[in-house]
Amino acid sequence: MKHLVVLAAIILSIPLSINAQNKKKQDQKAIKSMCGCYEVSFNFAETFQYSDDSTYVASKTKHDRGLEWVQLVEDEKDKIAMQHLLIVGSKENPYIVKHWRQDWEFENTDLYEYFRDNEWKYTKLDKKQVKGQWSQKVFQVDDSPRYEGSATWIHLDGKHYWENTTTAPLPRREYTQRSDYNVTGRTNRHELTKTGWIHDQDNEKILSEEGTYQIIAEEKGHNVYKKVEDSECVAAQNYWAKEKNKWALVRAKWDEVFARNKDLFLEEKVDNKVLFKYLFDKEKYKTSEEINPLIESFVKK
């Protein structure tokens, strides 16, 4: 009788296992569908102001457009990595900007949450907390950390989206313009559409200091990725074919740093120079012997 009970339990669990696998495949398909060539519109507008400073000046509304290639870099059972490459200049004379990167990891328990002032707190999540979830890890142009969060991909009523709230440094468009806040509270929503996908953002501009936590303003971001023929992004594809080995070495070094699983403090500059300016040097930093000590020099002990 005992064996029959065990067998029945196993049989009953099979549909749940199959459903979980089908859900994971659906998630993987949704994530990888964000790859390809896109015409992108970048839109940001400050919506509400809460600052006590009577001289407060809101950020200007921003509208930009661009052509972007999203390259599949890793495609593993529990990890999908995608590199964004921005194409600027004329079609005849394009210039490629290595843009942000997003890594998706299934049921990942290790996150680095941004605290403030170039410091990330290592956080260990409970396995039950992330069951069925994907973490999205977003990286800067030099593959240093930006922000990370975990949530469930939703496939319902014909909609496919993922949404998470986390903290991040200031965006590059604000970094050199604003000093009245030092943390961005980001609610990110990635949603697939019939023509591509949308990256929606509802952001808080936060002043975080010892004894102070003030939301000084809110901001809406609405970035629309409209799919175009892959042939429109050949310049970015060619760039990545030449540069991918170098950036694989950069990612490998950062992975080694992250695997230490402790709080991370990064220098803003070393010898008065930011990290991406070193790594974007076309003549240097092509080997691990050059890259590893460089990145290590930006990691505070």
Could you state, in order of their start, the residue ranges of all structural domains in the chain? Answer: 40-226
Q: What is the mean pLDDT of residues 13-23?
A: 74
Residue 264 has pLDDT above 50, yes or no: yes
Query: Residue 140's closest CA among 173, 176, 98?
Result: 98
pLDDT of res. 177:
87
Contacts of 289 by beta carbon, 8 Å cutoff, 6+ apart? none
| Helix count and strand count (H, E) for the chain | 5, 14
pLDDT of res. 20:
83
Least confident window among 121-125, 171-175, 234-238, 256-260: 171-175
Mean of all residue pLDDT scores within the chain: 94
Residue 114 has pLDDT above 90, yes or no: yes
CA distance 196 to 225: 6
The model's pLDDT over 73-104, given as tens digits with 9 standing for 90+, comes to 999 999 999 999 999 988 889 999 999 999 99
pLDDT of res. 208:
96
pLDDT of res. 3:
58
CA distance 163 to 248: 28
Q: With b meaning 16 or more CB within 10 Å and e meaning fewer, what string describes 115-139? A: bbebebeeeeeeeeebeebbbbbbb
pLDDT of res. 112:
98
Give the pTM: 0.92
Backbone torsions φ then ψ of 248, nearest 5 degrees: -65, -35
How far apart are the two ends of the chain, measured CA to CA in Å? 61
Q: Which CATH number fits domain 40-226: 1.20.272, 2.40.128, 1.20.140, 3.30.160?
A: 2.40.128
Question: Could you tell me the pLDDT band of residue 21, with boundaries at 50, 70 and 90?
Answer: confident
In sign, the C-alpha dihedral spanning 159, 165, 166, 171 is positive
Q: Which residue has the tokens 């974007």?
A: 280
The model's pLDDT over 127-185, given as tens digits with 9 standing for 90+, comes to 999 999 999 999 999 999 999 999 999 999 999 999 999 999 999 888 888 999 999 99
Question: Could you tell me the pLDDT band of residue 5, with boundaries at 50, 70 and 90?
Answer: very low
Q: What is the mean pLDDT of residues 179-202?
A: 97
Instruction: Give the 3-state secondary structure of residue 136.
Output: strand
